[in-house]
Amino acid sequence: MRKRWRTLVILTFLLGLLCAQSTLAALPFNIQSESALLMEVTSGEILVDKNSKKPLPPASITKMMLMLLVMEAVESRQIKLTDKIIASPEACRMGGSQIWLEPGEEMTVEDLMKAVSIVSANDASVALAEYISGSHEEFVKLMNKRGSELGLENTIYVNATGLSPDGGGPGNQTSAYDQAILARELLKHPTVLKWTGTWIDSLRGGESFLRNTNNLVRFYDGCDGLKTGYTSEAGYCLVATAQRNGVRLLAVVMKAPTSPVRNNEITKLFNYGFSQYKALKVLNAGQIIGKTKVMKGCSSEVNLIVPEDLLVVIKKDVQATPEVIAQIPPKVRAPLAAGEPVGQIIVKIDGETKVTADLVAESAVEESGFFRFLWQIGKSIAEGFFR
C-alpha cells in the first residue's frame, strides 16, 4: 500500500513538472518576470500567457482602477475635469511618489490625473479618491465593487495607491490577467492616453517638473501608456499599451526583478504581437450603411453611418474576406441626436465575430408637432394602400 501511494505521489509530481515545462515551452521567448500577458485589444485574444492568473501585489498599477473610476465619473457628469479639488491633510501625508501637495492647496481634476498618470503621485490619488467618494475608505469600497463588476476574480483593493498598508497587514492583490481586463476597459476613455503617453510635462505653472515613469513612452514606437508600479514586495510591474498601423496591444509584466528587465520584456511582448497581427479597414468613417424610418420626427427617415473607420485585426496569415452584417431597426422614435447609436455593425471572419460597433444617426432629427405627426400617419397609410 505504501509503495502504491509513493508511486502515485511521484507520478503526480512528474506530471506537474511536465505541465510546467510544457507551459514554459509554449512561450515564444524567455520571460524572467513572475507573471506576464500579451493581449490584442480589439478581440481580447491572449497571445502570450505566463502565470497570468497568479495573485500578486500590484504596487502603483493599482492606480489604473482609480483612473477608470475618475473617467467614469467625468463621463456620467458627476465631476468635471475643470473642478478644483482642495487637498486634505490625509492626502498630503502620503509617502512614496508624490507632487508634494500642501493642505488646502487647490488643483484641478485634470492636473491631479496628470500627476497620477505621469509620475504615479500618491497624494494626488488620495485627493481624487476623497473628491469622488468623500473619503479614501469609501473610495476603496467603490474600487472593489467596480472590480467585481468587471470580473476581476483575483483582485482585492485595500487602498487607492498601491502602497503597503500603514501598520502592516495584507495589501492590494491582483493578477496580470485582471490588469489586462481593467486596462482594456480604461482604454474606452482615450483621454487617459493623453496623460499616460506624455513624456515630459509640468504643474503649477511650470514650477513642478513631471517625467513619465514609463520609459517606453519615449523609447518604444507607438507606446502611449498606461501605468508602472514598484515596491520591494511587488517588484517591477508595468501595464503598457502600444498601437501601430491600426493594431493595438496590451502587455503586462508583474514582479520583474529590475526596471530594465521589465522594459525589455514589455518590448519583447510588443514586438512579438506586432509581428503576428495586421489591421484591415472594413468601412470608412462616415460611410452610409443604411437608413431607418423615424416616428414623430421632422424627417421621416435618417441615414445610419459608421462614426469612425472600422478596422478588423487579424493574424497576418489569415486570408479570409470579412463578412459585414448590419443590424438596423425598422423604425426609431424622435428626437434623435446626430451621432446617437441606432443600430449595430458586426464583422465576422470565418464565421467568428471579430468586431461589433455602433451605427449612428448621420444627422439630428427633431420631434415633429402633432399635426405633422398626423400627416405622417396618413401618408404611411396611403402608401401602404396603393402599394
> Which grid cell sits at 246?
491600426
| pLDDT > 50? residue 18 | no
Helix orientation angle between 109-119 and 122-133, rounded to the nearest 10 degrees: 140
Q: What is the pTM of this model?
A: 0.80
Per the CB < 8 A criterion, the answer to whether 180 and 250 are in contact is yes
Indicate which residue of 33, 35, 52, 63 is catalytic. 63
Is 120 an annotated catalytic residue?
A: yes
User: 141 vs 375, which has greater pLDDT?
Assistant: 141
| pLDDT > 60? residue 371 | no
Is 379 an annotated catalytic residue?
A: no
User: 111 vs 29, which has greater pLDDT?
Assistant: 111
Is 50 an annotated catalytic residue?
A: no
Q: Is the dihedral of CA 66, 67, 72, 77 positive or negative?
A: positive
Domains in the chain, please, with CATH?
30-278 (3.40.710.10), 284-386 (2.60.410.10)
Is residue 315 very low, low, confident or very high in pLDDT (cuts 50, 70, 90)?
confident
User: What CA–CA distance (Å, rounded) separates 384 from 121?
Assistant: 66
Indicate which residue of 120, 164, 175, 368 is catalytic. 120
| Buried/exposed 75-113: b ≥16 CB within 10 Å, e otherwise | eeeebeeeeebebbeebbebebbbbebeeebebebbbbb
**According to the model, what pLDDT value does residue 147 have?**
98
The rounded percent of the chain whose pLDDT value lies above 90 is 74
What percent helix, strand, coil does the chain show, rounded to 5? 35, 30, 35
| pLDDT > 60? residue 375 | no
Write down the mean pLDDT value for the chain: 89
pLDDT, tens digit (0-9, with 9 covering 90-100), for 344-361: 999 999 888 888 899 999
pLDDT, tens digit (0-9, with 9 covering 90-100), for 267-311: 999 999 999 988 888 999 999 999 999 988 888 899 999 998 888
* DSSP state for residue 53 in the 8-state scheme: T
User: What CA–CA distance (Å, rounded) separates 184 from 117?
Assistant: 16
Indicate which residue of 33, 60, 97, 125 is catalytic. 60
User: 184 vs 20, which has greater pLDDT?
Assistant: 184
